[in-house]
Structure 1
Amino acid sequence: MLRCIAVLDGSIDPFSLVQANVDGAREAGATVRNHCRVASMELEEGAVVRVKALDRRSGAAFSIAPEVVVNAAGAWAPQVAAMAGCEVAMGLDQGSMLVADGRLCGAVVNRLHPPSDGDIAVPNHTATVLGTTSRPAASPEDVAPSHDDMELLLRETSAMLPALRHCRVVRAYGGVRPLPGEGGRGVSRTFSLITDERAGNLLSVVGGKLTTYRLMAEKVSDWVCQALGARAGCRTRAEPLGPPADEAGGSVALARLRRKYGFKAGAVPLTDQRMLCSCEQVLRAEAQMVLGGPDALTLSDVMRRTRAGMGYCQGLDCALSLLEMMAEAGGTEPLASLTEFLEERERGQALASDDQLRQEVLRRHVLRGVYGLGERE
């Protein structure tokens, strides 16, 4: 390492950001349906007149008669557009990431060179996210990190953070970047709004990245207003996603909740401070707050809101307690929900050697012997 340069940078919690957008949309009058997918579209005279959808949990079908349709399905945008007989050109680029146990840096650490594999480490709550790679993807479901990619990420990021050589990598995961044209690391991260005369009230938005998503939302909102003949200025750039948290006073526990939930920290019933997830220091009160909302339908939903199950043991310790709370709240099938949650956690297990390998063997015995899950393929 020759030199270091400090720059103004930041990071976000992706799950909290998504939930903040959902909450903001609902507060503005939107109806939000979780765990649903578009099944088909019906057209009449060059416009989408009906969208048929399916609730993936209950299997129930329902339909919507839209005035306009916005296709913001990311890597699945071509498939959604095809339901209306339209085409969207897109390249898919797979990126892998690792999650190391422990917050190993206080700010984002990035190599100062042209973008390449394994050049960034991002602190996130009690963990450090290491990324990323760039490989062509065959489909939106082609997200599983390869063993070679995991080894490359650990080797390259350890050069920036030597402490990684002594840390446990608790999880590996991947995602697909929807990029214009053929895709690839060198492709511009600009975005496009695509229309097609075969379905004149359908708008597809593709490309872009996190740092431009609010601008994308503004451009889409302007198009929708024009299509509906509405005269309204877009407030996206001016309005924050919820008011800021009140930082004044309170206990250490309340300060931690403010960092996680912002202005909603006050909704956590601190009368119940029993621990639910010791790895991530999640209180049962936090799960109670989330279960009281409309979006916590599965164990994974609660995990994304509270971080229960994201820590060192990846849910082995807290899954049953959380499932008990969900069963008491009603609306869940215990065995199916538990199996889905633990199998998803198991798929993300990463590199293991020495003590980590012994821990992984113990995990698999617990999954098979206690939870009744089959061996990972």
Structure 2
Amino acid sequence: MHLETPVSHDRPGGRRVPAVPLLVALVVATAVSAVVSLAFGSEPLSVSGVVDVLRARLAGGRGSDPTYDTIVWELRAPRVIMAVVVGAGLSIAGACMQTLVRNPLADPYLLGVSSGAGVGATLVIVLGVFSGLGIWALSAGALGGALLATALVFGISMAQGGITPLRLVLTGVVMSAAFSSVSSFLVFFSADPRATQSVLFWLLGSLSGSVWEQILPSVIVVVLATLLLVALHSWLDALAAGADVASALGVPVKGLRIALFVLVSVLVGVLVAVSGGIGFVGLVVPHLARIVVGARHRVVLPVAAVGGALFMLWVDVAARTVVAPQEIPLSVVTGLVGAPVFLLLLGRRHYTYSGGGE
């Protein structure tokens, strides 16, 4: 099987942006955007008032204006931090998935993790499963569904002969369709229209339910996954060139593929559990990072992570301000922005084809 492989990632003419200055600029832009974004919402706030609340809270106190303090710290700050975490995590997962299956069209949800999480979340919303867990019920259901999907895809792939790019893609697509059908079945027979609306909104992605208690586990998973992948950057570079090349360079291809499969599945499962399904981030951002800084994972991964965080910050701002006081599902915004951007990138790229489906 011939899979389309992103072998050439250079900018036109071979020019690349220096990675370190770009990374510093992205970090600064993300930090500034995080503060400024706290002023946007159904109730507009002044940036100076936001800064006053942040300064007071970081010093251990409270803002001078109780209304500002509640809106900024209790309502918006958790979702802003979660936007950063989810954007970075999905971008990292997308870059890793594209290398794992050697396909530039791969995204973090290719393995059916998102659809599996959707089944778990639907069971919680429609049938009240895990209702005793309170604010953790939806996350627990979604994570359980994601891990179940991961186990099924892994088990089926191994039973059919082992982890290969082609087998992962086909198994993931089929299981994704199956889990989506289960979710649709549960929604169809739901007697509560509000529950149906909640399921559909969650499946399209939302950060409106973000709370402080849910942030730390997500941060830990994303940070650990990023550090591990950066540490394995040379193996990832070799794997992107093909299994034969990687094996010749001493890379344990089979073990690496299994490790990457598990890592991406857990990472995406955790993120979907707190944000729902958010499309295009893990597809477009890694592409853009490779165009700008080249194909080396040592620079692609951190640039993609920070770029994804910055992108998701402003996607969330758009979602909660365009039709305020209502919110737009995040996947609607990412689709409207990501589709034309991705088509533009395709027009500026030239992909080569190579063998190595195994």
Normalization by structure 1: what TM-score? Answer: 0.22
Between 1 and 2, higher relative CO (CA 8 Å, sep ≥ 6) is seen in 2
**Greater percentage in strand:** 1
**Greater percentage in helix:** 2
